[in-house]
Structure 1
Amino acid sequence: MIEDPKTVAIVGAGIVGVSTAIWLQRDGLKVILIDREGPAEGTSYGNGGILASCSVVPVTTPGLMLKAPKMLLGKDQPLFLRWGYLPRLMPWLLKYMRRANAEDAARTAAALTPIVGDSLNDHLALANGTGAEKWIVPSDYLFIYNDRAHYTEDGFGWDLRRKNGFVWDELEAAAFRDYDPVFAEDLTFAARLKDHGRITDPGRYVKDLAKHLEAQGGKVIRADVEDLVRENGQVTGVRAGGQTIACDAAVIAAGVWSGGLTKKLGLDVPLESERGYHLEFWEPSVMPRSPVMVAARKFVATPMEGRLRLAGVVEFGGLEAGASDAPLDLLRRNAAAVFPQLRASHVTEWLGHRPAPADSIPVIGELPHLRGAFTAFGHHHVGLTGGPKTGRIVAQLISGRTPNVDLNVYSPARYTKAGNKKSR
């Protein structure tokens, strides 16, 4: 740990990077935010917009190995694969599927809870006084099922949530319809979690946070980051856009693009792009009362400023390929099935890249072999939800304070040569 760093460079201007920068600035440090596209031009723009504190259950739960072939081959299933990408995907996929057991799922849920479990309050604390508060709306969060039997089939995940302190109530038949009548009649059961929230425009929210950062003296630079500059085991700068930007510490918070950069620093993180899609229905004829996860179809629907956003679907196909038609077509069919009265003035589409580490646990902390180099990436489906808490933890570390969280499970040390040998 370096003493009293004066300037910190943050690589990546999504919610994690911007949160880190704001918390560092509040600690009195100078901050430089570096991103190739600028604030909120990636996943932080296109995510589901839900402050989903209860989303601690990983995809890799028991039984996934048996379900995966059906999910890949069924036209109405939410998992897609560009088959030509499979050879490149396989090393990561084998590590990922090995985690599909009860013990690892419980470990992941316990690791995610301190990062996402109080997201609404974390966002309110982050946005306080920035002008971005207007985008935060406290709300319930509903998981919608066909019926009670369908909900019971999801018992493993709900048991993990219960063990990690989450509580909910059940809305069935008339009670569910009274709560919100906009859904199709074949959906008759919902689990309702209170004390959650939504962001009514995620892109503008993060941009407003970044504007506040600049207004308070922070710098925002648009450039490709090539490497960190180091001398005698200490970070001294960031090489970006053909120049060296001097700094006393650097934070890598570039989502799925963090993997290539950290590899140059001696971290071998098994990280893949989980390609996610959204559709936005502008000036919708119906709007759900709260954000929802439609369990049977594995997508979320979130009320936003002037539109309804449907997000979800998982596709593996790397960072280079453009959008596929099939995931977007599935989202359209899902919208018609779940919201039969939904009409819109127009519909827009988006594809983005979620950073998916093979163990579904973010990489947060200082590199054990390079002073002043910190990581803050790998949040999979919960980057928006966990961004403010992650940023606060990293800021505390850089400022020399001890976070009130056991950071061992997130440590980048697990991806060094020594860490890999230890984990075998």
Structure 2
Amino acid sequence: MRIIVAGAGIVGVSCAIWLQRAGHDVTIVDRAGPASGTSHGNAGVLAAGAVLPVTTPGLMRRAPGMLLNRDAPLFLRWSYVPRLMPFLMRYLPHATDAHVDRYGAAMSMLLHDTLDQHRALARDTPAARFISEEDYCFGYATRAAYDADAYGWGKRKALGYEFSVISGATHGRDDPVFGTAFDTVVRCHNHGRISDPGAYVQALADHFVAEGGQLHLTEITDVNVTPDGAIDALITRDGEMRADRIVFAMGPWSKAIAHKLGIKVPFESERGYHIELLNPSRMPRFPMMVASGKFVLTPMEGRLRAAGVIEFGGLDNGPSRAPFALLRRQVASLLPDVTHDGIVEWMGHRPAPADSLPLIGANDPGGRSYSAFGHQHVGLTGGPKTGRIIADLIDGKQPNADLAPFDPMKFAARTARPSGRMT
């Protein structure tokens, strides 16, 4: 079949490669090129154990205090609040124990074997060199802070994830860069790291093109939809594009198209930030989640990246200074003796559905188009398996997994949407 994949991040490129390996004629369409968004700026961790949503019990009680605390990792663009409120009304009620369990069971299927999925995707390609197996660590300044996270660790343990709880001093013998900053460290096993996420996704895209795939750089401005709700064509700056199947993997830019297709997902951009220390004098050995600031310090090629933070501020507004200032303060406090050649700042967008679950599957009963977006914090971790699932579905193979939590049709309008311009 002729297949178009809209989006050249890790999810889109993974879909394209698995579809290509299945024998299809695949074209990736993207406005800026591979890894130009979140796939470039993420923390680089293959976080197999990232099976808890942001919406955990007590969030509504904690959030106001976090917003007023300059050292808390939650930010809000106040001018954006009126547009954000309808989403928050759908998002915050998911902060329940029942939803945490539902989310954990679904995401465990998607994420638990992420290292193997990345190795399979990158096998015999130049991208393979970026992948390594490493523990993913969580550092707590006090034992009380670790104890306060007992809910999350209990949920991970119940799902079968393996981790070790050790003293900061014991961890420091393996990874001395943090000195005495942490009283308690949790080391999560069977995880991995991508040493340069942007270069990794670019290498995968280069492999896709070398194998005969097409990469078309243009902006998708609209879609044509038939009266029965199926997609007829992509409208781009360069004209119409048609295919037998179309996969939408546009991350946070997926909302307008999804809504036009009747996929009425409550959806927002969750803005993430990173800073990078260029040519640091010392590097941590393992990726480290700094629990107090909810950001990850990850060693990368020639730089140390501090990535994380949550801000709701929409797709169109520029970056805020407060998240950058928070990251700078916390990194300077943790690593006072580390020198570097400069700091680079970056802000990007994570796609955040109200239930925090990505949409993976057919958008219409006939399977003319598919969704592969909404992975929130775990697009890099879940991208390769998402691509394999989409390729199987398009080939008529039913994956050996419960895909109901990810079904785009759960948000579908009860009646077909008329064709017209996107809103």
Q: TM-score range by the shorter chain?
A: over 0.9
Look up the equivalent residue of 1:304 and give its one-letter code.
M
Matched-pair contact (CA < 8 Å) for 2:168–2:185? no
What residue is the counterpart of 1:285 in the other structure?
281
What residue is the counterpart of 1:58 in the other structure?
53
Look up the equivalent residue of 2:374 and give its one-letter code.
G
What residue is the counterpart of 1:121 in the other structure?
116
Matched-pair contact (CA < 8 Å) for 2:274–2:345? yes
What residue is the counterpart of 1:36 in the other structure?
31
What residue is the counterpart of 1:80 in the other structure?
75
Partner SS, residue 195 of structure 1: coil
Matched-pair contact (CA < 8 Å) for 2:110–2:386? yes
Partner SS, residue 98 of structure 1: helix
Structure-2 separation of matches of 1:301 and 1:227: 39
- 1:185-334 alignment runs, 5 A limit: 185-230=180-225, 233=228, 234-334=230-330
**How far did residue 20 of structure 1 move?**
0.2
1:383 and 2:383 matched: no
Matched-pair contact (CA < 8 Å) for 2:362–2:369? yes
Matched-pair contact (CA < 8 Å) for 1:235–1:248? no
User: Where do 5+ consecutive residues of structure 2 fail to align?
Assistant: 416-423
Look up the equivalent residue of 2:165 and give its one-letter code.
E
Structure-2 separation of matches of 1:248 and 1:230: 14
Bigger mean CA deviation after superposition, 179-188 or 319-328: 179-188
Structure-2 separation of matches of 1:368 and 1:38: 28
**How far did residue 179 of structure 1 move?**
2.2
* CA deviations over 1:251-280 (Å, ceiling 9, x no partner): 010001001111111111111111100000
What residue is the counterpart of 1:3 in the other structure?
none
Look up the equivalent residue of 1:112 and give its one-letter code.
M
**How far did residue 174 of structure 1 move?**
2.8
Look up the equivalent residue of 1:35 and give its one-letter code.
D
Aligned-residue RMSD, C-alpha: 1.4
Q: TM-score, normalised by structure 1?
A: 0.95
Structure-2 separation of matches of 1:214 and 1:314: 35
Matched-pair contact (CA < 8 Å) for 2:168–2:180? no
**How far did residue 25 of structure 1 move?**
0.3
What residue is the counterpart of 2:344 in the other structure?
348
User: Where do 5+ consecutive residues of structure 1 fail to align?
Assistant: 1-5, 420-424
Look up the equivalent residue of 1:375 and give its one-letter code.
S
Structure-2 separation of matches of 1:257 and 1:228: 13
Partner SS, residue 403 of structure 1: coil
Structure-2 separation of matches of 1:205 and 1:312: 20
**How far did residue 177 of structure 1 move?**
2.0
Structure-2 separation of matches of 1:75 and 1:232: 50
* CA deviations over 1:336-392 (Å, ceiling 9, x no partner): 122222211111000000001110000110013453110000000000000000010
Cα distance change on mapping 1:231 and 1:68 into 2, 3 Å = closer
**How far did residue 327 of structure 1 move?**
0.5
What residue is the counterpart of 2:331 in the other structure?
335
Matched-pair contact (CA < 8 Å) for 1:255–1:378? yes
**How far did residue 184 of structure 1 move?**
4.5
Structure-2 separation of matches of 1:302 and 1:313: 15
* CA deviations over 1:66-103 (Å, ceiling 9, x no partner): 11011100111111111010000001011111011111
Structure-2 separation of matches of 1:170 and 1:157: 14
Look up the equivalent residue of 1:67 and give its one-letter code.
R
What residue is the counterpart of 2:362 in the other structure?
366
What residue is the counterpart of 1:395 in the other structure?
391
Identity %: 49
**Count of residue pairs the alignment pairs up:** 414
Look up the equivalent residue of 1:118 and give its one-letter code.
D
Partner SS, residue 193 of structure 2: strand
Look up the equivalent residue of 2:162 and give its one-letter code.
V
